[in-house]
Amino acid sequence: MAGIITPKQLLDDLFITEPDEIDLEAIAAHLGASVKYAPLTGCEARIVGDGDTAIITVNSQSIPQRQRFSIGHEVGHWVYDKGKISLECGAAKQQSFYTAQDPESRANAFASELLIPKQMLLPRLQGRKADLSTLTELADTFRTSMTSTACRVLDMQTHPTMVVCHTRTKRLWYRGSREVQDVLRPLRNLSKDSVAWGLLQGNGTTGSEEVDADAWIDHPDAGDYTVFESSFLATPEMVVSLLWWRSDLQIREAMRSSGDDWN
């Protein structure tokens, strides 16, 4: 992909250094794409391009955080597929990037890096707990969804963390930081001992608590450890949880029992 501009290069070109300067419409215009808002059915945004220009239409009925992510997503498509393009992108596609590897995932990753740049996030994350208070503050600062914010916190690799998404009946996806991803696996179904389970039963929209790790982790020794859970409702039927290990002891022990060396 030689010659493809990165989100950081794009922000640097426009001398954008603070979160409140990330104007998605201006960024799109810089790349030859205009943004319009209109009611859309069945998709969150669409892009129609020809040559060096494009029109991005965003669902006017969506919340601002979703609209911003949708613009960033379509800008990602435009960066990678500039020329002649016509795409419609729904909310399901905008969730896929947390686990998938495809053009939609690529556009979502671009949007995530554009809306929550590493060079702006890291200074605001250093020395902070990976908990609900931090997530809420960061989401407000970057004007992004809690889910996107949680995944970017994980991307920074400053804490041993895992982000997990469940419905009432199953696990939809999960991602872990470098220390966790190939060592520990979350339960397929929510435990009644988790904060997330209570949220889906109507006990609020957010919650944080230190819980026994066996409420989350599928491992024989999980009950010997704890994990700090911060959960929030992404929709009335879907909950996202950020799991943070205050101590890496469980991770070390899990790696030792699997025969892996700790690096």
pLDDT score of 69 more than 50: yes
Q: Is residue 176 domain-shared with residue 107, that is, in the same domain? A: no
| 122 within a domain of the structure (yes/no) | no
- pLDDT tens-place string over residues 1-27: 456 899 999 999 999 999 999 999 999
Q: In terms of residue numbers, what domain contains 98?
A: 7-115
Quick check: 180 and 251 in contact, CB under 8 A? yes
Tell me how many helices (H) and strands (E) the chain has. Answer: 9, 9
Give the pLDDT score at 172: 95
H helix or E strand, kind and range, residue 10: helix 7-13
Q: What is the mean pLDDT of residues 244-248?
A: 90
| Centroid of chain to Cα 188 | 20
CATH number of 99's domain? 1.10.10
Q: How many domains does the chain have?
A: 2
Distances (CA, A) of 52 to 19, 57, 81, 86, 106: 28, 17, 11, 13, 21
Q: Is residue 16 domain-shared with residue 110, that is, in the same domain? A: yes
Tokens of 134: 């931090």
CATH number of 201's domain? 3.30.450
Q: Is residue 11 domain-shared with residue 111, that is, in the same domain? A: yes
The residues near 41 (Cβ < 8 Å, ≥ 6 apart) are none
pLDDT score of 230 more than 70: yes
| 126 within a domain of the structure (yes/no) | no
Q: Is residue 111 domain-shared with residue 165, that is, in the same domain? A: no
Q: Is residue 167 domain-shared with residue 107, that is, in the same domain? A: no
Rg (CA), the chain: 19
